[in-house]
Structure 1
Amino acid sequence: MPAELIRIYPENPDERRIRQVVDCLREGGLVIYPTDTVYGLGCDIFNTRAVEKIARIKGIKPQKNDFSFICYDLSHIADYARVGNSAFKLMKKVLPGPYTFILDANNQVPKLLNTNKKTVGIRVPDNLIPRLIVKELGNPIVTTSIKDDDEIIEYSTDPELIFEKFQHQVDIVVDGGYGGNIGSTIVLAINDQFEIVREGLGDTSLFV
């Protein structure tokens, strides 16, 4: 069955449609949604089969995944990662925002997502749609960016074109307007030391 394209306005997300997305996630569905950077592909972090499906779409082994989580806010992060004082203060300044923080994982991270790894990527995007989905779901969702086959474009920004491409691989595509084409800034934040892993949309001067 092809996916459903659902329009949700980021300024004032429709609660009924948010619940529709959450119901899909609870049933093991895959969802494409906007963030404050590029469009992401995600599922419930606790649904092993859904995580494996995403890995197949990305062409990687589930154990070699580099998926991140989307959390609703900073209080959510402590459930899955250990955060030092300096990291917490800095994250409080910049989140919600276009950053992925690589942190020490704790034992609440599902095994499939933490195989052979002691870290986890955490995002709190400055976009109400994915954050309200997570809030209603009650736990984070896996997130990985939607790459385009055209390396010059790199990221698809038009939700209708994304829908055309992925409609037979996912269950819902959320149309939240045009997305960006620059990924998040990735920051390694272990033992209160910061290292820029990838420079993206976020300001990196804060970590120097």
Structure 2
Amino acid sequence: MAELIKLFEENPNPRQVSKIGSVLRKGGLIIYPTDTVYGLGCDITNSKALEKVARIKGVKLAKANWSFVCADLSNLSDYVRQIDTSTFKILKRALPGPYTFILPGNNNLPKDFKKKKTVGIRVPDNAIVNALVTELGNPIVSTSIHDEDDILEYTTDPELIYEKWKNLVDIVVDGGYGGNIASTVIDLATGYPEVVREGKGSLDIL
């Protein structure tokens, strides 16, 4: 059964952050807050954990379009081909923030993502998830947790999330109530911005 761990965004407890990082390194699955909706994630370099996430989401790992949650733009070059100045300016304007940017992947992608031509990158404006990514030392894979209820597309209450997911994941991070509007997805892979999904983020950054 999952552990429910409360973290405060103003000052995430370093001991608890370290504990969650250790669970991720061992292939554990977590549910965690972002600046949009709660996400289900694991270490992007752990194949067994990625397979578990794929099973839960009912998709084949090779076909999954998940985002990489990064702490900042500094490790972008680890996974993304060199981008032009105008693209970088958009990223600098928008991040950290409620956006997912689709960018051209490079040869350093973890083995489970090697065949991907593009990768979705997120840098949420949320101190909890940023602390977790920094502690782990790798991006965390991110996929939103949907609610079966048509009205509330995304679950927002951490205690209800815990009740629903406690037998599927290792840790549910309670970072307070989440939002129910997903990130804005913008494709920058071709060099010209294309809005794939309009969500929480404003389009003024383009």
- Which bracket does the TM-score occupy, shorter chain normalised? over 0.9
Alignment of 1:106 onto 2:106: yes
Greater shift after overlay, 77-86 or 93-102?
77-86
Matched, 1:43 2:42: yes
Contact 2:94-2:205 within 8 A present in 1 as well: no
Q: For structure 1, list consecutive stretches of 5 or more residues without a partner in the other structure.
A: none
How far apart in 2 are the matches of 1:126 and 1:206?
A: 15
Identity of aligned residues (%): 59
Structure richer in strand, relative to its length: 1
Letter in 2 for 1:123: R
How far off is 1:151 after superposition? 2.2
Equivalent residue letter for 2:59? I
- 2:88 alignment counterpart: 88
In the alignment, what sits opposite 1:12? 11
Pairs within 5 Å for 1:153-192? 153-192=152-191
Quote the Cα distance in structure 1 between the aligned partners of 2:150 and 2:117.
31
Relative to the length of structure 1, the TM-score reads: 0.96
C-alpha distance in structure 1 between counterparts of 2:114 and 2:160, whole Å: 32
1:22-74 Cα shifts (integer Å, max 9, x gaps): 00000100000000000001000010010010011111111110110000101
TM normalised by structure 2 equals 0.97
Please report how far the alpha carbon of residue 192 of structure 1 lies from its aligned counterpart in structure 2 after TM superposition.
2.5
RMSD: 1.0
Other-structure match for 1:149: 148
One-letter amino acid of the structure 1 residue matched with residue 142 of structure 2: T
Supply the distance in 1 between the matched residues of 2:93 and 2:46 (Cα, whole angstroms). 32
Does the 8 Å contact 2:162/2:172 carry over to 1?
yes
1:128 is aligned to 127
